[in-house]
Amino acid sequence: MSSDGEDFYYDDADDGFGQDDDIMDDIDSESEPDVFDALSPTIEEAPSKKPYDVSYKVRSPQELLDMQNKEIKKIQTLLEVPSSAAATLLRHYAWNAEKLQEEFWTDSAKSLADSGLSPPGSPSTSIASLPPRSTRQTRSSHQEPFDCPICCDDFPASQFEEKTFALGCGHRFCRGCWQEYLTGKVKGEGESARVQCMESGCNRVVREEAVNELVTSDVSARYHELLNAAFVADSPNLRWCPHPSCEYAIECSQAPPRMLNQLVPTVVCHCGNDMCFGCGYAADHRPVLCKIVKLWEKKCADDSETANWLNAHTKECPKCQSTIEKNGGCNHMTCKKCKGEFCWVCMGPWSEHGTSWYQCNRFDEKSGINARDAQAKSRASLERYLHYFNRWANHEQSAKLDAEFYKKTEKKMEQMQNSGNLSWIEVQFARDAVSVVIKSRILLKWSYCMAF
């Protein structure tokens, strides 16, 4: 949840807000509503939550940015480094401030080098803020033309400061090459926090203020979007809403991996859609656990049931191993590829069956029994899967028609208001009934997955 310590949460141990019981007892009944309003949780949930509900908060992109800036400012003050260096350190350590501080105080030089920053004592890590062009040489200190190592363009000494750029590592290139390189990294490869120097073998990270100075505004905007995405991906308590065109993220600290065997952490985004915080599934899949949902989705998506169907309805020629499907006729099979003749029941050579063209005389032999049993098991497994899958898929298809269901209900509500002299509030029962039906349908859908 929020790291500023200002939010309050329910405490299961004392059934309160974590406040002293004696203090709460001194509050009279008339003042209790005001106290509750002042101390009520800032999380998006009802005060009396159910045992299977989790506490969570929906975060906007600006709130995510504020969370990052708060952590950056804290590390900047503790380690006495520039804000961009603090941001680079935090991103390298996946925003784990405790691990960062421990390793930085143990060996600051190694910590900075591993993060792609300048060593301790250099101008880029020893001042509170960086000037826009702190790493450039002045005209007075550089009197020779510059040849860009990448594009091989020559720049006179008078344009050295204006047309070239170098990081703290000292590797200098022209601004055109820098812009093309950073644009490709950001827009082409989707990189942000770990964009390194163009020099081969150099792991110096291109920090935020350098990117903002070298690229166009649209690339810079995309760069900051990727930084936000990386922040959410690195945090175990944050997850993006998976629904299209939704820009919100969900923060939840009550759904660690060890708890996913006991609960399904369903949350509701500001866009109005449900999602499972545990596995990121874009819907409520209660009562099925996340690991079972993943297995079911994989089984429905891959070719496992295709192979099962082949085992149940086809066999391989015992001579050339060609796959053959029997679509009628007797058990006397002739392979079209190798012209080999065999019995469909026992898979033995047809020459050993004598004149028994329509009946196999080897049913009691071990090989024949095993072949029949294997095929029977495959058919039974396939029929069982299709039984549950068809019912699951029917509810899945019905769920796709919920939007149309809502539209019809809204029209019916308008008709009831116009013809029955009912108020808007009085006809809300219809919408509530539709919501119950949809939730029940979702519950039934996943019950078939659980039964399988």
97 Cβ contact list (under 8 Å, min separation 6): 71, 74, 75, 90
Taking 50 as the threshold, does the pLDDT of residue 128 lie above it? no
Is 197 annotated as catalytic?
no
3-class SS of residue 174: strand
Strands (E), 142-268: 146-147, 154-155, 164-166, 172-174, 238-240, 249-251, 266-268
- Catalytic residue of the set 174, 197, 202, 330: 330
CATH 3.30.40.10 in the chain: give the residue spans: 62-233
For residue 439, the number of C-alpha atoms closer than 13 Å in the C-beta half-sphere is 11
Taking 70 as the threshold, does the pLDDT of residue 127 lie above it? no
pLDDT digits (tens, 9 = 90+) for 69-121: 999 999 999 998 888 889 999 999 989 999 999 999 999 899 998 988 887 66
Q: Which of 293, 305, 244, 233 is nearest to 273 (CA)?
A: 244
Q: At 201, is the pLDDT very low, low, confident or very high (cuts 50, 70, 90)?
A: confident
Determine the Cα–Cα distance for residues 183 and 226; give it in Å rounded to an integer.
13
Q: What is the pLDDT of residue 306?
A: 67
The letter for the amino acid at 94 is A
For residue 351, the number of C-alpha atoms closer than 13 Å in the C-beta half-sphere is 2
pTM (2 decimals)?
0.60
Which CATH architecture describes the domain 62-233?
2-Layer Sandwich (3.30)
Taking 70 as the threshold, does the pLDDT of residue 367 lie above it? no
- Measured in whole angstroms, the distance separating CA 179 from the mean position of its chain's CA atoms is 31
**By mean pLDDT, which of 181-190, 254-263, 284-293 is the weakest?**
254-263
Other Cβ atoms less than 10 A from the Cβ of 105: the count is 11
Which DSSP string corresponds to 35-91?
Answer: HHHHH---SSS-SS--TT----EEE-HHHHHHHHHHHHHHHHHHHT--HHHHHHHHH
Token pair of 305, please?
């049931």
Q: What is the pLDDT of residue 303?
A: 56
When pLDDT is averaged across residues 429-434 and rounded to a whole number, the result is 80
Determine the Cα–Cα distance for residues 11 and 254; give it in Å rounded to an integer.
12
Q: What is the pLDDT of residue 9?
A: 37
Say if residue 268 is exposed, middle or buried (CB neighbours under 10 Å; 0-12, 13-18, 19+): middle
Which DSSP string corresponds to 126-151?
Answer: HSSS--TTTTSPPGGG--S-EE-TTT
Taking 90 as the threshold, does the pLDDT of residue 410 lie above it? no
The letter for the amino acid at 16 is G
Q: Give ∠ CA 383-388-393 in degrees, rounded to 5.
A: 120
**By mean pLDDT, which of 53-62, 216-225, 403-412 is the weakest?**
403-412
Determine the Cα–Cα distance for residues 379 and 397; give it in Å rounded to an integer.
26
Q: At 311, is the pLDDT very low, low, confident or very high (cuts 50, 70, 90)?
A: low
345 DSSP 8-state letter: T
Other Cβ atoms less than 10 A from the Cβ of 393: the count is 14
Determine the Cα–Cα distance for residues 63 and 130; give it in Å rounded to an integer.
26
Determine the Cα–Cα distance for residues 272 and 34; give it in Å rounded to an integer.
30
CA distances from 88 to 19, 34, 91, 118, 343 (A): 38, 44, 5, 11, 71
Q: Are strands 154-155 and 164-166 parallel, antiparallel or unpaired?
A: unpaired
Percent of the chain whose pLDDT exceeds 70: 75
What's the residue count for the chain? Answer: 452
Q: What is the pLDDT of residue 119?
A: 77
Tokens 């810079």 appear where? 220
Which DSSP string corresponds to 223-238?
Answer: HHHHHHHHHHHH-TTE
- Measured in whole angstroms, the distance separating CA 311 from the mean position of its chain's CA atoms is 36
Q: Which of 244, 213, 209 is nearest to 83 (CA)?
A: 209
- Comparison of pLDDT for 396 and 358, the residue scoring more: 396
Q: What is the pLDDT of residue 354?
A: 62
Q: Assess whether the previous peptide bond of 287 is cis (omega < 30° from 0).
A: yes
Instruction: Confirm if 442 and 399 have CB atoms less than 8 A apart.
Output: yes
Tokens 């101390």 appear where? 39
**By mean pLDDT, which of 319-333, 344-358, 405-419 is the weakest?**
344-358
Instruction: Confirm if 188 and 215 have CB atoms less than 8 A apart.
Output: no
**By mean pLDDT, which of 172-186, 187-201, 384-398 is the weakest?**
384-398
Determine the Cα–Cα distance for residues 254 and 237; give it in Å rounded to an integer.
8
CA distances from 187 to 49, 290, 415 (A): 43, 33, 51
**By mean pLDDT, which of 83-87, 171-175, 361-365, 420-424 is the weakest?**
361-365
Taking 90 as the threshold, does the pLDDT of residue 184 lie above it? yes
Taking 50 as the threshold, does the pLDDT of residue 7 lie above it? no
* H or E segment to which residue 399 belongs: helix 366-400
